[in-house]
Amino acid sequence: MADKKLYVKCACMTCRGKRGLSCHYCDIDGNIFVEASFKTVVRYLNDMDECTLKVEILDKLGQE
């Protein structure tokens, strides 16, 4: 079974997001997707408003 992974969108590390069309690593906006670390996921969840977080999680769980 494949592992579920979470990715975050950030500025290209090669061209720093300034050469969207000429850089082979990023999209037209100068962004790339990288695998999120556990620490990044925890930081994101901690930064969210508690009420919003609970509603979002319960909503997602209800859809599955």
Location of structure tokens 């500025």? 11
Give residue 57's pLDDT band: very low, low, confident or very high (50, 70, 90): confident
Q: Domain for residue 2, yes or no?
A: no
pLDDT at 60 over 80: no
Kindly report, residue by residue over 21-42, the tens digit of the pLDDT: 778 888 888 888 888 888 887 8
Type of residue at 43: R
Counting the structural domains of the chain, the total is 1
Statement: residue 43 has pLDDT above 80: yes
Tokens for 48? 């969210």
3-class state of residue 12 by DSSP? coil
Spatial contact of 30 and 11, defined as CB atoms under 8 Å apart: yes
Whole-angstrom Cα distance, residue 2 to residue 16? 31
Q: Given this model, what pLDDT does residue 1 score?
A: 45
Percentage of the chain modeled with pLDDT above 90: 0
Q: Is residue 40 part of a domain?
A: yes
Find the domain containing 28 and state its range: 7-63
Q: Is residue 1 part of a domain?
A: no
**In-domain check, residue 20:** yes
Alpha carbon of 56 to those of 4, 8, 14, 34: distances in Å? 19, 18, 34, 23
